[in-house]
C-alpha cells in the first residue's frame, strides 16, 4: 500500500520534521505509530494522505510515486485515503447527517454537494454508517449537541461513507475516556478487518498500541527508532523512545521530571 524510501520533510527555516524514513506498509495491515510530541507523527500522516509531498526521497502509494501524481489522478488517490483527526474536523452547527455525507464530497459534483445541503442525499447510506458506529438515532441531531465520543463516531461514519482503501487515524482517542478509547479502536479495527482496509493509527498511549496492534513503529526526532512486532518491544526500547521528554501538563505543574509509564499503562498526554 505504502512504500517510503529515505523520505525527508524539511519546512522553511530548515526545520527537519522527518529525516530518512524508510517503511513499507502492506494492504490490509494494521499499524500503530507511537512517539513523543514533535517526533514527526502528524507530518508523516500528512505525507501519507497526500496533503504534503516529501522534500527528498520517494513515497509510493499503490506503486505510484506521489510527486508524479497530478490533477484527476491525484484526486482519485486522495479519495482512497480517509483521515480521522484528533479534533474531528466536523462542522458543529450542521446536522449529523450533513457531516456524515461530507464523506461523499470527493465523489460528488459541486452542484450535487450544494443540493445535499438543502435536501440530504443518500440518507439510507448515512443511516447505515451511523448504525455501524452505534449512534443511528443521532442522524438529524445537531453535531455540537453531541458528546466528544459521539462526535468521534460521526467522524468515523464520515470516513465509512467515503469508503477508502486506507484509514489514517491521527490520535483519534486522546480526548475520550479510557473505556471509550478501547471501544473506538476496536470499532476501527473491526471495520478494517471486515472491508478489508489498511489501518494506520497515531497513538499517545503505549498501552493501547501494545494491546491492539500487531506492528508498532516508534518515531523519535523525525526518525524511525524501531519497527517491530509488539512481542519484540521491550521496556528498554520504550525508555529510549521517550527519554528526556516532558509533557506540557507536567511543565505547567512545575514537575520537571518525566517518568516513563509502564508498558501496561497509558502514556500521560
Structural domains of the chain sorted by starting position, each given as residue range(s) with its CATH number in brackets: 1-80+200-269 (3.40.50.300)
The predicted pLDDT at position 108 comes to 67
- Give the strand order in the sheet containing 30-34: 81-84, 166-170, 198-202, 30-34, 215-220, 223-229
The predicted pLDDT at position 262 comes to 44
Cα gap 114→56, rounded to integer Å: 39
The predicted pLDDT at position 88 comes to 75
Helix, strand or coil for residue 221?
coil
Which cell goes with 140? 438529524
Q: What share of the chain is helix, strand, coil (3-state, %, to 5)?
A: 40, 25, 35
127 to 74, 93, 98, 190, 246: CA distances (angstroms) = 30, 19, 11, 19, 43
The predicted pLDDT at position 169 comes to 93
Instruction: Tell me the whole-structure pTM to 2 decimals.
Output: 0.82
Cα gap 191→169, rounded to integer Å: 13
- Nearby residues of 44 by Cβ (< 8 Å), 6 or more positions away: 18, 21, 33, 219
pLDDT < 50 stretches in the chain: 246-269
Which of 6, 4, 21, 33 lies closest to 228, judged by CA? 33
Which cell goes with 247? 509533557
The predicted pLDDT at position 245 comes to 65
Q: Which residues pair with 60 in a beta bridge?
A: 3, 65
The predicted pLDDT at position 148 comes to 83
Burial pattern 5-19, b for ≥16 Cβ within 10 A else e, equals: eebebeeeeeeebbb
The predicted pLDDT at position 212 comes to 94
The predicted pLDDT at position 21 comes to 96
The predicted pLDDT at position 172 comes to 85
Cα gap 105→209, rounded to integer Å: 32
Cα gap 101→207, rounded to integer Å: 34
Condensed to tens digits (0 to 9), the pLDDT of residues 12-47 reads: 999 999 999 999 999 999 999 999 988 999 999 999
Which cell goes with 255? 514537575
Helix, strand or coil for residue 140?
coil
Q: Beta strands of 26-63 (E only): which ranges?
A: 30-34, 56-61
Q: Alpha-carbon Rg of the chain, whole angstroms?
A: 19
Amino acid at each position: 500500500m505504502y512504500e517510503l524510501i529515505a523520505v525527508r520533510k524539511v519546512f522553511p527555516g530548515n526545520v527537519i520534521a522527518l529525516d530518512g524514513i524508510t517503511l513499507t506498509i502492506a494492504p490490509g495491515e494494521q499499524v500503530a505509530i507511537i512517539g513523543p510530541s514533535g517526533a514527526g507523527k502528524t507530518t508523516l500522516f500528512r505525507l501519507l494522505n497526500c496533503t504534503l509531498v516529501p522534500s527528498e526521497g520517494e513515497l509510493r502509494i499503490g506503486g505510484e510515486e506521489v510527486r508524479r501524481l497530478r490533477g484527476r489522478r491525484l484526486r482519485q488517490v486522495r479519495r482512497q485515503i480517509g483521515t480521522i483527526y484528533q479534533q474531528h474536523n466536523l462542522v458543529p452547527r450542521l446536522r449529523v447527517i450533513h457531516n456524515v455525507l461530507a464523506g461523499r464530497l470527493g465523489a460528488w459534483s459541486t452542484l450535487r454537494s450544494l443540493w445535499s445541503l438543502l435536501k440530504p442525499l443518500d440518507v439510507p447510506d448515512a443511516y447505515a454508517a451511523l448504525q455501524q458506529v452505534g449512534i443511528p438515532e443521532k442522524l438529524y441531531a445537531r453535531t455540537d449537541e453531541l458528546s466528544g465520543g459521539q462526535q468521534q463516531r460521526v467522524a468515523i461514519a464520515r470516513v465509512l461513507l467515503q469508503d477508502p482503501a486506507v484509514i489514517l487515524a491521527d490520535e483519534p482517542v486522546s480526548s475520550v475516556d479510557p473505556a471509550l478509547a478501547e471501544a473506538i479502536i476496536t470499532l476501527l479495527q473491526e471495520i478494517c478487518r471486515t472491508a478489508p482496509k489498511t489501518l494506520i493509527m497515531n497513538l499517545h498511549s503505549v498501552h493501547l498500541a501494545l494491546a491492539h496492534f500487531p506492528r508498532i513503529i516508534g518515531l523519535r526526532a523525525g526518525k524511525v527508532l524501531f519497527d517491530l512486532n509488539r512481542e519484540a518491544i521491550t521496556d528498554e526500547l520504550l525508555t529510549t523512545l521517550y527519554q528526556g521528554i516532558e509533557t506540557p501538563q507536567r511543565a505547567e505543574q512545575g514537575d520537571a521530571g518525566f517518568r516513563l509509564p509502564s508498558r501496561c499503562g497509558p502514556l500521560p498526554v
